[in-house]
Structure 1
Amino acid sequence: MAEKTFYVLSDSVGETAELLAKAALSQFLNVDMKIQRIPYVDDEATMVDAFHLAKENDGIIAYTLVKPDFRVKMLELSQQFNVVAIDVLGPLLKQLESHLNEPPTLQPGLVHKLDEDYYKRVEAIEFAVKYDDGRDAKGILKADLVLIGVSRTSKTPLSQFLAHKRLKVANVPIVPEVEPPEELFQVSPEKCIGLKISSEKLNHIRTERLKALGLDGTANYAKEERILQEIDYFNKVVDQIGCDTIDVSNKAVEETANVILRKLKM
Protein backbone atom coordinates (compact mmCIF):
# COMPACT_ATOMS: atom_id res chain seq x y z
CA MET A 1 0.00 0.00 0.00
CA ALA A 2 1.32 3.46 -0.91
CA GLU A 3 2.20 5.78 1.93
CA LYS A 4 -0.64 8.17 2.74
CA THR A 5 0.03 11.91 2.70
CA PHE A 6 -1.20 14.66 4.98
CA TYR A 7 -1.14 17.95 3.06
CA VAL A 8 -0.96 21.17 5.09
CA LEU A 9 -1.83 24.40 3.32
CA SER A 10 -1.13 27.88 4.59
CA ASP A 11 -1.13 31.46 3.36
CA SER A 12 2.12 31.86 5.32
CA VAL A 13 4.97 29.39 5.97
CA GLY A 14 2.64 26.62 7.17
CA GLU A 15 4.52 25.89 10.38
CA THR A 16 1.41 26.07 12.58
CA ALA A 17 -0.59 23.60 10.50
CA GLU A 18 2.38 21.22 10.22
CA LEU A 19 2.96 21.20 13.99
CA LEU A 20 -0.69 20.47 14.62
CA ALA A 21 -0.65 17.71 12.01
CA LYS A 22 2.41 16.13 13.64
CA ALA A 23 0.82 16.36 17.08
CA ALA A 24 -2.37 14.70 15.85
CA LEU A 25 -0.58 11.95 13.91
CA SER A 26 1.60 11.12 16.91
CA GLN A 27 -1.51 9.71 18.56
CA PHE A 28 -1.87 7.05 15.84
CA LEU A 29 1.01 4.68 16.45
CA ASN A 30 0.17 2.22 13.67
CA VAL A 31 -0.30 4.81 10.94
CA ASP A 32 2.50 5.67 8.51
CA MET A 33 1.61 9.04 7.01
CA LYS A 34 3.98 11.67 5.69
CA ILE A 35 3.32 15.40 5.93
CA GLN A 36 3.77 17.68 2.93
CA ARG A 37 3.65 21.39 3.52
CA ILE A 38 2.24 23.72 0.82
CA PRO A 39 3.03 27.27 1.96
CA TYR A 40 2.09 30.73 0.68
CA VAL A 41 -1.24 29.73 -0.81
CA ASP A 42 -2.56 32.87 -2.49
CA ASP A 43 -4.64 31.68 -5.40
CA GLU A 44 -7.33 29.17 -6.29
CA ALA A 45 -5.07 27.22 -8.67
CA THR A 46 -2.76 26.21 -5.81
CA MET A 47 -5.73 24.95 -3.83
CA VAL A 48 -7.01 22.91 -6.77
CA ASP A 49 -3.53 21.39 -7.29
CA ALA A 50 -3.44 20.40 -3.62
CA PHE A 51 -6.78 18.60 -3.91
CA HIS A 52 -5.63 16.77 -7.03
CA LEU A 53 -2.57 15.55 -5.09
CA ALA A 54 -4.64 14.51 -2.11
CA LYS A 55 -7.10 12.66 -4.34
CA GLU A 56 -4.33 10.80 -6.17
CA ASN A 57 -2.46 9.86 -2.99
CA ASP A 58 -5.39 9.00 -0.73
CA GLY A 59 -4.48 11.97 1.42
CA ILE A 60 -6.21 14.50 3.60
CA ILE A 61 -5.74 18.24 3.95
CA ALA A 62 -5.46 20.63 6.87
CA TYR A 63 -5.27 24.36 6.26
CA THR A 64 -4.63 27.63 8.06
CA LEU A 65 -6.01 30.32 5.77
CA VAL A 66 -7.12 33.62 7.26
CA LYS A 67 -9.10 34.96 4.27
CA PRO A 68 -12.77 33.92 4.51
CA ASP A 69 -13.18 33.53 0.74
CA PHE A 70 -10.22 31.13 0.67
CA ARG A 71 -11.76 29.07 3.45
CA VAL A 72 -15.09 28.95 1.62
CA LYS A 73 -13.31 27.79 -1.54
CA MET A 74 -11.55 25.04 0.41
CA LEU A 75 -14.91 23.73 1.60
CA GLU A 76 -16.25 23.73 -1.95
CA LEU A 77 -13.20 21.85 -3.25
CA SER A 78 -13.44 19.36 -0.41
CA GLN A 79 -16.94 18.43 -1.52
CA GLN A 80 -16.04 18.52 -5.21
CA PHE A 81 -13.05 16.15 -4.86
CA ASN A 82 -14.52 14.14 -1.98
CA VAL A 83 -11.32 14.78 0.02
CA VAL A 84 -11.28 15.50 3.76
CA ALA A 85 -10.13 19.09 4.38
CA ILE A 86 -9.84 20.40 7.94
CA ASP A 87 -10.09 24.11 8.67
CA VAL A 88 -7.64 24.55 11.54
CA LEU A 89 -7.81 28.32 11.94
CA GLY A 90 -11.30 29.37 10.81
CA PRO A 91 -13.38 28.11 13.78
CA LEU A 92 -10.90 29.59 16.26
CA LEU A 93 -10.98 32.98 14.53
CA LYS A 94 -14.78 32.92 14.57
CA GLN A 95 -14.94 32.10 18.29
CA LEU A 96 -12.36 34.74 19.17
CA GLU A 97 -14.16 37.37 17.11
CA SER A 98 -17.39 36.61 18.96
CA HIS A 99 -15.76 36.54 22.40
CA LEU A 100 -13.59 39.64 21.92
CA ASN A 101 -16.23 41.54 19.95
CA GLU A 102 -13.53 42.62 17.53
CA PRO A 103 -12.91 41.51 13.94
CA PRO A 104 -9.57 39.87 13.03
CA THR A 105 -7.19 41.70 10.71
CA LEU A 106 -7.25 38.76 8.27
CA GLN A 107 -3.65 39.47 7.31
CA PRO A 108 -1.60 36.32 6.56
CA GLY A 109 1.71 35.65 8.29
CA LEU A 110 1.42 38.08 11.21
CA VAL A 111 2.72 35.49 13.65
CA HIS A 112 5.95 35.30 11.63
CA LYS A 113 6.36 38.99 10.87
CA LEU A 114 9.99 39.81 11.49
CA ASP A 115 10.64 43.08 13.26
CA GLU A 116 13.86 44.98 13.78
CA ASP A 117 14.41 43.44 17.19
CA TYR A 118 14.29 39.94 15.72
CA TYR A 119 16.85 40.77 13.05
CA LYS A 120 19.20 42.28 15.61
CA ARG A 121 18.98 39.18 17.78
CA VAL A 122 19.67 36.82 14.88
CA GLU A 123 22.57 38.97 13.72
CA ALA A 124 24.06 38.97 17.23
CA ILE A 125 23.75 35.18 17.53
CA GLU A 126 25.45 34.67 14.18
CA PHE A 127 28.18 37.09 15.24
CA ALA A 128 28.80 35.18 18.48
CA VAL A 129 29.18 31.93 16.54
CA LYS A 130 31.47 33.44 13.91
CA TYR A 131 33.80 35.11 16.41
CA ASP A 132 33.77 32.45 19.10
CA ASP A 133 36.98 31.35 20.82
CA GLY A 134 39.18 33.90 19.03
CA ARG A 135 38.81 32.17 15.66
CA ASP A 136 38.79 35.49 13.77
CA ALA A 137 40.47 38.48 15.40
CA LYS A 138 38.68 40.91 13.06
CA GLY A 139 35.53 40.38 15.12
CA ILE A 140 37.16 42.03 18.13
CA LEU A 141 36.99 45.46 16.50
CA LYS A 142 33.42 44.91 15.31
CA ALA A 143 32.04 43.64 18.63
CA ASP A 144 29.87 45.48 21.13
CA LEU A 145 31.66 43.51 23.82
CA VAL A 146 34.79 41.36 24.04
CA LEU A 147 35.13 38.64 26.67
CA ILE A 148 38.52 37.26 27.61
CA GLY A 149 39.41 34.44 29.95
CA VAL A 150 41.29 31.19 30.36
CA SER A 151 39.72 27.95 29.16
CA ARG A 152 36.49 26.85 30.94
CA THR A 153 35.34 30.26 32.14
CA SER A 154 32.04 30.01 30.20
CA LYS A 155 33.04 32.46 27.48
CA THR A 156 31.01 30.72 24.75
CA PRO A 157 27.70 30.20 26.62
CA LEU A 158 27.97 33.73 28.00
CA SER A 159 28.50 35.12 24.49
CA GLN A 160 25.40 33.25 23.28
CA PHE A 161 23.31 34.39 26.24
CA LEU A 162 24.25 38.03 25.64
CA ALA A 163 23.58 37.61 21.91
CA HIS A 164 19.94 36.97 22.79
CA LYS A 165 20.04 40.43 24.36
CA ARG A 166 21.13 41.74 20.94
CA LEU A 167 24.78 42.25 21.92
CA LYS A 168 27.47 41.33 19.39
CA VAL A 169 30.02 39.50 21.52
CA ALA A 170 33.44 38.19 20.56
CA ASN A 171 35.41 36.05 22.98
CA VAL A 172 39.12 35.37 23.14
CA PRO A 173 40.87 32.58 25.07
CA ILE A 174 43.95 33.63 27.00
CA VAL A 175 46.72 31.05 26.78
CA PRO A 176 50.33 31.66 27.93
CA GLU A 177 51.79 30.07 24.80
CA VAL A 178 49.71 32.21 22.43
CA GLU A 179 50.21 35.93 22.02
CA PRO A 180 46.85 37.73 22.28
CA PRO A 181 45.71 39.29 18.99
CA GLU A 182 46.80 42.90 18.59
CA GLU A 183 43.17 43.92 18.03
CA LEU A 184 42.55 43.16 21.71
CA PHE A 185 44.72 46.13 22.65
CA GLN A 186 43.08 48.43 20.11
CA VAL A 187 39.52 48.31 21.44
CA SER A 188 38.34 50.55 24.24
CA PRO A 189 38.91 48.93 27.66
CA GLU A 190 35.26 49.69 28.40
CA LYS A 191 34.23 47.21 25.68
CA CYS A 192 36.33 44.41 27.15
CA ILE A 193 35.64 42.28 30.23
CA GLY A 194 37.92 39.69 31.76
CA LEU A 195 36.38 36.59 33.31
CA LYS A 196 38.27 35.71 36.50
CA ILE A 197 38.07 32.37 38.25
CA SER A 198 39.70 30.87 41.32
CA SER A 199 42.33 28.18 40.80
CA GLU A 200 40.37 25.76 43.00
CA LYS A 201 37.17 26.16 41.01
CA LEU A 202 39.00 25.91 37.70
CA ASN A 203 40.79 22.77 38.83
CA HIS A 204 37.46 21.16 39.71
CA ILE A 205 35.81 22.18 36.42
CA ARG A 206 38.69 20.97 34.28
CA THR A 207 39.07 17.70 36.16
CA GLU A 208 35.37 16.93 35.69
CA ARG A 209 35.59 17.94 32.04
CA LEU A 210 38.46 15.52 31.44
CA LYS A 211 36.60 12.71 33.16
CA ALA A 212 33.50 13.40 31.05
CA LEU A 213 35.65 13.01 27.96
CA GLY A 214 37.01 9.72 29.27
CA LEU A 215 40.46 11.20 29.85
CA ASP A 216 42.82 11.13 32.81
CA GLY A 217 41.75 13.77 35.33
CA THR A 218 45.38 14.32 36.28
CA ALA A 219 46.39 15.63 32.85
CA ASN A 220 48.44 18.83 32.71
CA TYR A 221 45.32 20.77 31.67
CA ALA A 222 43.89 20.34 35.18
CA LYS A 223 47.08 20.52 37.23
CA GLU A 224 47.33 23.27 39.82
CA GLU A 225 50.70 24.48 38.53
CA ARG A 226 49.40 24.85 34.99
CA ILE A 227 46.23 26.60 36.16
CA LEU A 228 48.19 29.11 38.26
CA GLN A 229 50.42 29.82 35.26
CA GLU A 230 47.38 30.55 33.08
CA ILE A 231 45.71 32.74 35.69
CA ASP A 232 48.91 34.73 36.19
CA TYR A 233 49.20 35.31 32.45
CA PHE A 234 45.53 36.26 32.26
CA ASN A 235 46.03 38.89 34.99
CA LYS A 236 48.95 40.39 33.08
CA VAL A 237 46.86 40.66 29.91
CA VAL A 238 44.01 42.27 31.83
CA ASP A 239 46.40 44.81 33.35
CA GLN A 240 47.80 45.58 29.92
CA ILE A 241 44.33 46.17 28.47
CA GLY A 242 43.07 48.00 31.53
CA CYS A 243 39.64 46.37 31.42
CA ASP A 244 37.23 45.41 34.21
CA THR A 245 36.96 41.83 35.42
CA ILE A 246 34.15 39.71 36.83
CA ASP A 247 34.77 36.78 39.14
CA VAL A 248 32.79 33.88 37.66
CA SER A 249 34.00 31.28 40.18
CA ASN A 250 30.59 30.86 41.78
CA LYS A 251 28.31 32.49 39.24
CA ALA A 252 25.91 30.91 36.77
CA VAL A 253 26.03 32.24 33.20
CA GLU A 254 22.81 34.18 33.80
CA GLU A 255 24.27 35.90 36.87
CA THR A 256 27.41 36.93 35.03
CA ALA A 257 25.32 38.20 32.12
CA ASN A 258 23.22 40.33 34.45
CA VAL A 259 26.35 41.87 35.96
CA ILE A 260 27.60 42.71 32.47
CA LEU A 261 24.26 44.17 31.41
CA ARG A 262 24.25 46.39 34.50
CA LYS A 263 27.75 47.54 33.66
CA LEU A 264 26.61 48.37 30.17
CA LYS A 265 23.45 49.97 31.61
CA MET A 266 21.15 47.82 29.51
Structure 2
Amino acid sequence: MMATEGPVHLHLVSDSTGETIHQVARACLVQFEGVKAIEHTWFLVRTAAHVDKVIAGIEAHPGPVLVTLVDPHLYSKLEAAGRALKVPVISVLDPVLGALHHYLGKKARGRPGRQHEMDAAYFSRIEAMQFTLMHDDGQHLHDIDHADIVLVGVSRTSKTPTCLYIANRGFKVANVPLVPGISLPRELTTATHPLIVGLTNDPNRLVQIRRNRLLMLNQGSESDYINLDEVRREVTEARRLFERQGWPVIDVTRRSIEETATEILQIYQDRKDSDIDRD
Protein backbone atom coordinates (compact mmCIF):
# COMPACT_ATOMS: atom_id res chain seq x y z
CA MET A 1 0.00 0.00 0.00
CA MET A 2 1.28 3.46 -0.94
CA ALA A 3 -0.21 6.44 0.88
CA THR A 4 0.15 9.88 -0.75
CA GLU A 5 0.39 13.32 0.86
CA GLY A 6 0.17 15.64 -2.16
CA PRO A 7 -1.91 15.47 -5.33
CA VAL A 8 -2.08 12.13 -7.11
CA HIS A 9 -1.44 11.97 -10.84
CA LEU A 10 -4.27 10.03 -12.49
CA HIS A 11 -3.91 8.84 -16.09
CA LEU A 12 -7.11 8.20 -18.08
CA VAL A 13 -6.47 6.03 -21.14
CA SER A 14 -9.18 5.22 -23.70
CA ASP A 15 -9.37 4.12 -27.32
CA SER A 16 -12.48 6.26 -27.72
CA THR A 17 -13.54 9.75 -26.63
CA GLY A 18 -13.05 8.94 -22.94
CA GLU A 19 -16.54 9.86 -21.76
CA THR A 20 -17.01 6.64 -19.80
CA ILE A 21 -13.60 6.63 -18.15
CA HIS A 22 -13.87 10.30 -17.20
CA GLN A 23 -17.18 9.73 -15.44
CA VAL A 24 -15.93 6.57 -13.70
CA ALA A 25 -12.80 8.37 -12.48
CA ARG A 26 -14.81 11.21 -10.99
CA ALA A 27 -17.39 8.89 -9.44
CA CYS A 28 -14.62 6.94 -7.70
CA LEU A 29 -12.32 9.77 -6.62
CA VAL A 30 -15.05 11.66 -4.77
CA GLN A 31 -15.24 8.68 -2.43
CA PHE A 32 -11.77 9.55 -1.06
CA GLU A 33 -11.86 12.59 1.21
CA GLY A 34 -9.07 15.12 0.80
CA VAL A 35 -7.55 13.56 -2.32
CA LYS A 36 -6.71 15.98 -5.11
CA ALA A 37 -6.14 14.41 -8.53
CA ILE A 38 -4.21 15.85 -11.46
CA GLU A 39 -5.78 14.22 -14.51
CA HIS A 40 -3.73 13.29 -17.55
CA THR A 41 -6.07 12.40 -20.41
CA TRP A 42 -5.02 10.01 -23.17
CA PHE A 43 -7.92 9.47 -25.53
CA LEU A 44 -8.25 7.89 -29.00
CA VAL A 45 -5.34 5.57 -28.11
CA ARG A 46 -5.40 2.98 -30.89
CA THR A 47 -1.78 2.31 -31.85
CA ALA A 48 1.36 0.95 -30.18
CA ALA A 49 3.09 4.27 -30.89
CA HIS A 50 0.38 6.15 -28.99
CA VAL A 51 0.71 3.71 -26.08
CA ASP A 52 4.44 4.47 -26.01
CA LYS A 53 3.58 8.16 -25.64
CA VAL A 54 1.21 7.31 -22.79
CA ILE A 55 3.92 5.27 -21.05
CA ALA A 56 6.35 8.20 -21.36
CA GLY A 57 3.74 10.43 -19.72
CA ILE A 58 3.27 7.97 -16.87
CA GLU A 59 7.04 7.82 -16.36
CA ALA A 60 7.12 11.62 -16.11
CA HIS A 61 4.17 11.76 -13.67
CA PRO A 62 3.71 8.36 -11.97
CA GLY A 63 0.25 7.54 -10.74
CA PRO A 64 -2.72 5.18 -11.21
CA VAL A 65 -3.81 4.42 -14.78
CA LEU A 66 -7.50 3.88 -15.60
CA VAL A 67 -8.00 2.13 -18.91
CA THR A 68 -10.65 1.27 -21.47
CA LEU A 69 -8.76 -0.38 -24.32
CA VAL A 70 -10.45 -3.00 -26.48
CA ASP A 71 -7.22 -4.20 -28.11
CA PRO A 72 -5.69 -6.79 -25.71
CA HIS A 73 -2.19 -6.26 -27.10
CA LEU A 74 -2.28 -2.54 -26.34
CA TYR A 75 -3.65 -3.22 -22.87
CA SER A 76 -0.96 -5.84 -22.17
CA LYS A 77 1.75 -3.40 -23.27
CA LEU A 78 0.41 -0.75 -20.91
CA GLU A 79 -0.07 -3.23 -18.07
CA ALA A 80 3.53 -4.44 -18.39
CA ALA A 81 4.77 -0.86 -18.23
CA GLY A 82 2.66 -0.29 -15.13
CA ARG A 83 4.25 -3.24 -13.39
CA ALA A 84 7.72 -1.94 -14.27
CA LEU A 85 6.85 1.54 -12.97
CA LYS A 86 5.07 0.14 -9.90
CA VAL A 87 1.77 1.91 -10.59
CA PRO A 88 -1.62 0.19 -10.92
CA VAL A 89 -3.09 -0.17 -14.40
CA ILE A 90 -6.81 -0.63 -13.83
CA SER A 91 -9.46 -1.69 -16.29
CA VAL A 92 -12.60 0.28 -15.44
CA LEU A 93 -14.54 -2.97 -15.77
CA ASP A 94 -12.55 -4.29 -12.78
CA PRO A 95 -13.11 -3.20 -9.16
CA VAL A 96 -11.83 0.36 -9.53
CA LEU A 97 -12.60 1.38 -5.98
CA GLY A 98 -10.60 -1.49 -4.54
CA ALA A 99 -7.52 -0.67 -6.58
CA LEU A 100 -7.67 3.04 -5.70
CA HIS A 101 -8.09 2.17 -2.01
CA HIS A 102 -4.92 0.04 -2.26
CA TYR A 103 -2.93 2.85 -3.89
CA LEU A 104 -4.24 5.87 -1.96
CA GLY A 105 -4.28 4.25 1.45
CA LYS A 106 -7.74 5.63 2.21
CA LYS A 107 -11.02 3.84 2.72
CA ALA A 108 -13.85 4.66 0.33
CA ARG A 109 -16.85 6.30 1.97
CA GLY A 110 -19.18 3.97 0.10
CA ARG A 111 -21.92 6.54 -0.45
CA PRO A 112 -23.67 5.97 -3.80
CA GLY A 113 -24.25 9.07 -5.90
CA ARG A 114 -21.63 11.28 -4.26
CA GLN A 115 -20.53 12.44 -7.73
CA HIS A 116 -23.83 14.34 -7.98
CA GLU A 117 -23.37 16.37 -4.81
CA MET A 118 -23.25 20.16 -5.07
CA ASP A 119 -19.47 20.27 -4.68
CA ALA A 120 -16.93 22.78 -5.97
CA ALA A 121 -16.54 20.88 -9.23
CA TYR A 122 -20.28 21.16 -9.88
CA PHE A 123 -20.27 24.93 -9.46
CA SER A 124 -17.11 25.13 -11.55
CA ARG A 125 -18.95 23.48 -14.45
CA ILE A 126 -21.88 25.86 -14.07
CA GLU A 127 -19.52 28.83 -14.11
CA ALA A 128 -17.73 27.43 -17.16
CA MET A 129 -21.03 27.00 -19.01
CA GLN A 130 -22.11 30.55 -18.21
CA PHE A 131 -18.78 31.93 -19.38
CA THR A 132 -18.98 29.92 -22.59
CA LEU A 133 -22.51 31.07 -23.41
CA MET A 134 -21.52 34.71 -22.83
CA HIS A 135 -18.45 34.39 -25.05
CA ASP A 136 -20.07 32.69 -28.01
CA ASP A 137 -19.46 34.02 -31.51
CA GLY A 138 -16.93 36.69 -30.54
CA GLN A 139 -18.93 38.31 -27.76
CA HIS A 140 -17.44 40.00 -24.67
CA LEU A 141 -13.88 39.98 -26.00
CA HIS A 142 -12.70 42.32 -23.24
CA ASP A 143 -12.08 39.41 -20.86
CA ILE A 144 -11.29 36.63 -23.33
CA ASP A 145 -7.93 36.17 -21.61
CA HIS A 146 -9.88 34.57 -18.73
CA ALA A 147 -10.84 31.66 -20.98
CA ASP A 148 -9.11 28.30 -20.72
CA ILE A 149 -9.62 27.57 -24.41
CA VAL A 150 -10.55 29.71 -27.42
CA LEU A 151 -11.73 28.22 -30.71
CA VAL A 152 -11.25 30.21 -33.93
CA GLY A 153 -12.60 29.30 -37.33
CA VAL A 154 -14.66 30.28 -40.36
CA SER A 155 -18.43 30.02 -40.27
CA ARG A 156 -19.96 26.55 -39.72
CA THR A 157 -16.91 24.74 -38.33
CA SER A 158 -18.85 23.54 -35.26
CA LYS A 159 -17.32 26.10 -32.91
CA THR A 160 -20.35 26.62 -30.67
CA PRO A 161 -21.37 22.98 -30.05
CA THR A 162 -17.75 22.03 -29.46
CA CYS A 163 -17.40 24.86 -26.93
CA LEU A 164 -20.51 23.74 -25.06
CA TYR A 165 -19.31 20.14 -24.96
CA ILE A 166 -15.95 21.20 -23.49
CA ALA A 167 -17.61 23.62 -21.05
CA ASN A 168 -19.56 20.70 -19.61
CA ARG A 169 -16.18 19.33 -18.53
CA GLY A 170 -15.58 22.47 -16.47
CA PHE A 171 -13.47 24.50 -18.91
CA LYS A 172 -14.18 28.14 -19.79
CA VAL A 173 -14.35 28.28 -23.57
CA ALA A 174 -14.84 31.15 -26.02
CA ASN A 175 -15.09 31.15 -29.80
CA VAL A 176 -14.25 33.81 -32.35
CA PRO A 177 -15.49 33.63 -35.96
CA LEU A 178 -13.23 34.47 -38.89
CA VAL A 179 -15.04 36.83 -41.25
CA PRO A 180 -13.54 37.57 -44.70
CA GLY A 181 -12.10 41.07 -44.87
CA ILE A 182 -12.19 41.64 -41.11
CA SER A 183 -8.99 41.52 -39.04
CA LEU A 184 -8.60 39.45 -35.90
CA PRO A 185 -9.69 41.32 -32.77
CA ARG A 186 -6.77 42.76 -30.81
CA GLU A 187 -7.97 41.06 -27.64
CA LEU A 188 -7.44 37.67 -29.28
CA THR A 189 -3.95 38.36 -30.59
CA THR A 190 -2.77 39.69 -27.24
CA ALA A 191 -4.31 36.94 -25.09
CA THR A 192 -1.68 34.96 -23.18
CA HIS A 193 -3.65 32.61 -20.90
CA PRO A 194 -5.96 30.52 -23.11
CA LEU A 195 -5.06 27.72 -25.48
CA ILE A 196 -6.16 28.99 -28.91
CA VAL A 197 -7.10 26.33 -31.48
CA GLY A 198 -7.98 26.85 -35.14
CA LEU A 199 -10.83 24.80 -36.62
CA THR A 200 -11.11 24.14 -40.33
CA ASN A 201 -13.27 22.10 -42.67
CA ASP A 202 -13.24 20.81 -46.24
CA PRO A 203 -14.56 23.59 -48.55
CA ASN A 204 -16.97 21.25 -50.35
CA ARG A 205 -18.40 20.10 -47.04
CA LEU A 206 -18.63 23.69 -45.80
CA VAL A 207 -20.60 24.75 -48.87
CA GLN A 208 -23.05 21.91 -48.28
CA ILE A 209 -23.48 22.79 -44.59
CA ARG A 210 -23.87 26.50 -45.32
CA ARG A 211 -26.39 25.90 -48.10
CA ASN A 212 -28.50 23.77 -45.77
CA ARG A 213 -28.27 26.51 -43.17
CA LEU A 214 -29.54 29.14 -45.60
CA LEU A 215 -32.41 26.88 -46.64
CA MET A 216 -33.43 26.47 -43.01
CA LEU A 217 -33.44 30.27 -42.63
CA ASN A 218 -35.32 30.75 -45.92
CA GLN A 219 -32.54 32.98 -47.20
CA GLY A 220 -31.21 33.40 -50.73
CA SER A 221 -28.75 30.85 -52.05
CA GLU A 222 -26.64 33.14 -54.26
CA SER A 223 -23.76 34.66 -52.30
CA ASP A 224 -20.01 34.36 -51.66
CA TYR A 225 -20.98 32.56 -48.45
CA ILE A 226 -21.65 29.39 -50.46
CA ASN A 227 -19.57 30.09 -53.56
CA LEU A 228 -17.07 27.20 -53.72
CA ASP A 229 -14.17 29.30 -55.00
CA GLU A 230 -14.73 31.93 -52.33
CA VAL A 231 -15.06 29.31 -49.61
CA ARG A 232 -11.82 27.66 -50.74
CA ARG A 233 -10.10 31.05 -50.54
CA GLU A 234 -11.64 31.64 -47.09
CA VAL A 235 -10.40 28.27 -45.76
CA THR A 236 -6.91 28.78 -47.24
CA GLU A 237 -6.60 32.21 -45.63
CA ALA A 238 -7.74 30.80 -42.29
CA ARG A 239 -5.08 28.08 -42.42
CA ARG A 240 -2.40 30.64 -43.24
CA LEU A 241 -3.55 32.76 -40.32
CA PHE A 242 -3.39 29.80 -37.92
CA GLU A 243 0.12 29.01 -39.12
CA ARG A 244 1.29 32.61 -38.66
CA GLN A 245 -0.12 32.69 -35.14
CA GLY A 246 1.37 29.29 -34.27
CA TRP A 247 -2.02 27.90 -33.25
CA PRO A 248 -2.73 24.15 -33.42
CA VAL A 249 -5.23 23.28 -36.15
CA ILE A 250 -7.94 20.61 -36.18
CA ASP A 251 -9.78 19.58 -39.35
CA VAL A 252 -13.35 18.80 -38.26
CA THR A 253 -14.47 17.41 -41.64
CA ARG A 254 -14.65 13.77 -40.59
CA ARG A 255 -14.89 14.26 -36.82
CA SER A 256 -17.82 14.20 -34.46
CA ILE A 257 -18.18 16.98 -31.90
CA GLU A 258 -16.99 14.54 -29.24
CA GLU A 259 -13.87 13.62 -31.21
CA THR A 260 -12.98 17.25 -31.90
CA ALA A 261 -13.46 18.15 -28.23
CA THR A 262 -11.34 15.19 -27.16
CA GLU A 263 -8.49 16.26 -29.43
CA ILE A 264 -8.66 19.81 -28.08
CA LEU A 265 -8.60 18.62 -24.48
CA GLN A 266 -5.62 16.40 -25.27
CA ILE A 267 -3.72 19.40 -26.65
CA TYR A 268 -4.73 21.37 -23.55
CA GLN A 269 -3.51 18.59 -21.28
CA ASP A 270 -0.21 18.30 -23.14
CA ARG A 271 0.39 22.02 -22.71
CA LYS A 272 -0.53 21.80 -19.03
CA ASP A 273 1.90 18.90 -18.53
CA SER A 274 4.65 20.91 -20.22
CA ASP A 275 3.97 23.82 -17.86
CA ILE A 276 4.21 21.46 -14.87
CA ASP A 277 7.54 20.10 -16.13
CA ARG A 278 8.95 23.62 -16.54
CA ASP A 279 7.90 24.53 -13.01
Maintained 8 Å contact 1:190/1:244: no
Name 1:137's counterpart in structure 2. Answer: 141
Could you tell me which amino acid in structure 1 is paired with residue 267 of structure 2? K
Cα distance, 1:198 vs structure 2: 0.9
In the alignment, the residues of structure 2 paired with residue 142 and residue 114 of structure 1 have an alpha-carbon distance, to the nearest angstrom, of: 24
1:183 aligns with 2:187: yes
Name 2:87's counterpart in structure 1. Answer: none
Name 2:171's counterpart in structure 1. Answer: 167
Maintained 8 Å contact 1:149/1:172: yes
In the alignment, the residues of structure 2 paired with residue 111 and residue 238 of structure 1 have an alpha-carbon distance, to the nearest angstrom, of: 39
Where does 1:170-249 land on structure 2 (aligned, <5 Å)?
A: 170-188=174-192, 191-249=195-253
Maintained 8 Å contact 1:128/1:170: yes
In the alignment, the residues of structure 2 paired with residue 150 and residue 189 of structure 1 have an alpha-carbon distance, to the nearest angstrom, of: 22
Gaps of 5+ in 2: 1-110, 271-279
Gaps of 5+ in 1: 1-104
Cα deviations by residue, 1:75-122 (Å, 9 ceiling, x for unpaired)? xxxxxxxxxxxxxxxxxxxxxxxxxxxxxx9xxxx9985210111000
% of aligned pairs identical?
35
In the alignment, the residues of structure 1 paired with residue 241 and residue 193 of structure 2 have an alpha-carbon distance, to the nearest angstrom, of: 12
Maintained 8 Å contact 1:206/1:222: yes
Cα distance, 1:189 vs structure 2: 9.0
Cα distance, 1:179 vs structure 2: 1.3
In the alignment, the residues of structure 2 paired with residue 200 and residue 111 of structure 1 have an alpha-carbon distance, to the nearest angstrom, of: 44
Maintained 8 Å contact 1:194/1:238: yes
In the alignment, the residues of structure 2 paired with residue 144 and residue 198 of structure 1 have an alpha-carbon distance, to the nearest angstrom, of: 27
1:154 aligns with 2:129: no
Cα distance, 1:190 vs structure 2: 7.2
Cα distance, 1:239 vs structure 2: 2.1
Maintained 8 Å contact 1:149/1:234: yes
Rate the CA distance shift 1:189–1:166 in 2: closer, same or farther, 3 A: closer
Pick 1 or 2: higher relative contact order, CA cutoff 8 A, min separation 6: 2
SS in 2 for 1:264: helix
Rate the CA distance shift 1:255–1:241 in 2: closer, same or farther, 3 A: same
Maintained 8 Å contact 2:146/2:193: no
Aligned equivalent of 1:123, options 124, 127, 132: 127
Where does 1:67-86 land on structure 2 (aligned, <5 Å)?
A: none
The CA RMSD over aligned residues, in Å, is: 2.3
Could you tell me which amino acid in structure 1 is paired with residue 154 of structure 2? V
Could you tell me which amino acid in structure 2 is paired with residue 200 of structure 1? N
Cα distance, 1:131 vs structure 2: 0.7
Cα deviations by residue, 1:130-177 (Å, 9 ceiling, x for unpaired)? 111111212321110110000000111111110001010010001122
Where does 1:2-21 land on structure 2 (aligned, <5 Å)?
A: none
SS in 2 for 1:265: helix
In the alignment, the residues of structure 1 paired with residue 254 and residue 133 of structure 2 have an alpha-carbon distance, to the nearest angstrom, of: 25
Maintained 8 Å contact 2:252/2:260: yes
Cα distance, 1:206 vs structure 2: 0.6
Rate the CA distance shift 1:210–1:254 in 2: closer, same or farther, 3 A: same
Cα distance, 1:258 vs structure 2: 1.0
Cα distance, 1:237 vs structure 2: 2.0
- Tell me the number of residue pairs that the alignment of Structure 1 and Structure 2 aligns: 158
SS in 1 for 2:269: coil
